[in-house]
Amino acid sequence: MDKNELLNPIRILNWSLKTKVVMAPMTRSFANNHTGTVGEDIVNYYRRRAKDCIGLIITEGIIPSLRGKGTFGVPGLYTNAQIDSWRRVTEAVHAEGGKIVAQLWHVGRLTHHELTGGIPPQAPSILKADGLVHRLRKPYEVPEEMSLDDIKKVIQEYALAARNAVKAGFDGVEIHGAHGYLIDQFNSEVTNKRTDEFGGDIFNRLLFMKEVLKAVISEVGKDKTIIRFSEIKDDIPSYRWANPEENIKAFIQVFSEVGIQILHPSTNNFTGKIANGMTFHELVRKYWDGIIIGVGNLNVETASEAIKKGTIDLAAFGRPLLANPDFVHKIKEGIPIKPYEAATDLKYLN
């Protein structure tokens, strides 16, 4: 196994990355629950990964508005105090020679008024999700259907959060358009029953994502904007696309139209076949010649081989980086990677 593929530096558009290892976005819930600011524990958490030579850090989900909040302790990027608190993080990462992008995350219907300041959840259609709100452990509430004015307002909130990310010193922004959250609720025929221009056929359903991308790109640039998208949905584990290849072609057509250059296709199983004997990332690569970040319970060997084959350009790791803040060092030295243990690795920042 040639482990050097992950360890080699790479130039990605305007970013010079020390390695091809990406820190995947992971909800941590250590922000101040009332103010949405992050503290010194978060500063040190990201600093350690940058010092370890993670090529690109993607933050935990950061909400563009209080209404986008889906659990306790989620940070924001819509107040000056939040901007200032994140600036300490980006300065620490940059001091170690790292790069960091802010993931913007709006949960849509997957929340409860107790988390959103007493305001009901919002979604493309009045369809209640099954299940319980993360950590709150209360059933998801029936959302309000977003009006055209609501849609316009949320797009503006994404744009403002992207502008604030630049003020906070982030190197770019990732839009969370996956896993059944707000953008993906618009994308899917299961959660989007609208009859206006934001509903109907797949390109109408993808219009909200497209407009969010255009708004964010106008603030940070198309070379510093990443989109995360998926087939899978956190609240509907059994959901699958009826025609994965056609869906992927439609998504990529939209991405090409807005000029975005970095994709983050998300799956729980990187090696799992979804259509025509091909994996999710292989199908994306079939129609996309830009940058692809691979993710999905990757190990070092699988990631290295996928980069060598050209299926992906960068490899994102989640849980291994929670358990191993010295992940890259261990790869370099051939030290075994410590297994992830939720009882400690999820409960504490290290």
Q: Enumerate the active-site residues.
A: 181
What radius of gyration, in Å, describes the C-alpha atoms of the chain?
19
Q: For 76-115, give the DSSP string.
A: BSSSHHHHHHHHHHHHHHHHTT--EEEEE---TTSS-TTT
Three-state SS at 50: helix
Distance of CA 25 to the CA centre of its chain: 6
DSSP 8-class letter at 272: -
Residue type, 84: D
Query: What are 13's two structure tokens?
Result: 């558009």
Three-state SS at 266: strand
Provide the phi-psi class of 323: left if phi over 0, else alpha when psi is between -120 and 50, else beta: alpha
- Angle at 65 (CA atoms; ends 59, 69), nearest 5 degrees: 70
Query: What are 97's two structure tokens?
Result: 């020679």
Query: What are 211's two structure tokens?
Result: 């407009």
Long-range CB pairs of 279-287 (<8 Å, 24+ gap) are: 279/311, 280/231, 280/244, 280/248, 281/306, 281/311, 281/312, 282/311, 283/244, 283/245, 283/248, 284/248, 284/252, 285/310, 285/311, 285/312, 287/248, 287/249, 287/252
Q: Are 140 and 158 in contact (CB under 8 A)?
A: no
Please state, in angstroms and rounded to a whole number, the distance separating the CA atoms of residues 160 and 154. 10
Distances (CA, A) of 276 to 45, 243, 248: 41, 10, 13
Distances (CA, A) of 14 to 20, 221, 262: 15, 11, 12
